[in-house]
Structure 1
Amino acid sequence: MILYFNRHEEYSNQLKNNSTYNGRLEVISFDVFLMVRRKKTTIFTDAKETTTVRELKKIIQGIMKVEPENQQLMNERGSEVFDDEKQLSDYNLTAQTARAQSPATVALVFRQDNGEFENLEITPLSSPPELPEVMKPQEPQPHEIN
């Protein structure tokens, strides 16, 4: 199952506001594009570099209907569990590493009935089938001259 969630915001007003000094420093945070994977489910979403892990879990809650406290996010290898209070940029999920054309992968696991989190399981993405012979490029045949 592939789901796509787009949290699109209008940046032009923010850029206009920042084009002249208005007495306060505003930080422009860039978008990161994420592929959140769990078993056979893939969620494509975007967020800000300054989004906290807890806020990302709330986005996932809106799609998967699982409370944030019953979710655990980690890197795709499962070697680093993300802290709810940290920002995505703290895990090197930045505009340079998580672009629209190559989103960063974040792994997701849910809490089981026994209170433990399930083991990380991500089904590999499928590859397209091989082209039928009639669709493969044909090599030019040498012409016989009589």
Structure 2
Amino acid sequence: MQSLPSTSNTYHDCYLQIRRAKQTIFTDVAEATTVYELKQIMGNILRIDPNIIRLSVSGQIFDTDSKQLVEYGITTKEARPQNPFQLEFTLKLDDDSYENIEIVPYTTQTSSSNDES
């Protein structure tokens, strides 16, 4: 009888929420994924060149494509399915600068006119 392949892998998954303006990408990757590999995944999803993507977290720019996510502090402890780790991304402009980071909230706080009687 042939044994079934193991479902556990050496690398645990990090669940990510990657945002730009009104765009949100949810994905899961290994802690050992490099910044460039993540950019390639995003490029495939967005159908753009991964070289124009810049990732950051709270102002910290992921400036070394060869670094693994774990080297930037993204681990399975911080990036869970119930609470994905949030990253921001911007795109390179024609003048080789990058867009300003803009994240549009999912909902806005507005008072409803139905509340008044």
Scaled to the shorter chain, the TM-score interval is: 0.7 to 0.9
1:19 corresponds in structure 2 to none
C-alpha RMSD of the superposition:
2.1
Identity, in percent, stands at 35
Q: Which residue in the other structure is 1:115 paired with?
A: 96
- Alpha-carbon deviation of 1:13? 2.5
- Normalised by the size of structure 2, how large is the TM-score? 0.83
- The question of 1:35 aligning with 2:17 is answered yes
Structure-1-length-normalised TM-score: 0.67
CA 1:61–1:129 in 2, change beyond 3 Å: closer, same or farther?
A: same
Task: Answer 1 or 2: which has greater strand percent.
Answer: 2
After TM superposition, list the pairs within 5 Å mapping 1:11-26 onto structure 2: 13=6, 15=8
Give the unaligned 5+ runs of structure 1: 1-11, 16-26, 134-146
Detail structure 1 runs of 4+ shifted over 2 Å in the superposition: 12-15, 127-133
* Letter paired with 1:40: K
Give the whole-Å Cα distance in 1 for the aligned partners of 2:106 and 2:36. Answer: 27
Cα-to-partner distance string for 1:19-68 (whole Å, 9 max, x where unaligned): xxxxxxxx811100000000100000000000000000000001112212
Q: Measure how far apart 1:129 and its partner are.
A: 8.0
Structure 1 CA distance, aligned partners of 2:31 and 2:20?
Answer: 22
SS of equivalent residue, structure 1 residue 107: strand
Consecutive unaligned residues in structure 2, runs of 5 or more: none
Q: How does 1:1-146 map to 2 (within 5 A)?
A: 13=6, 15=8, 28-75=10-57, 77=58, 79-82=59-62, 83-126=64-107
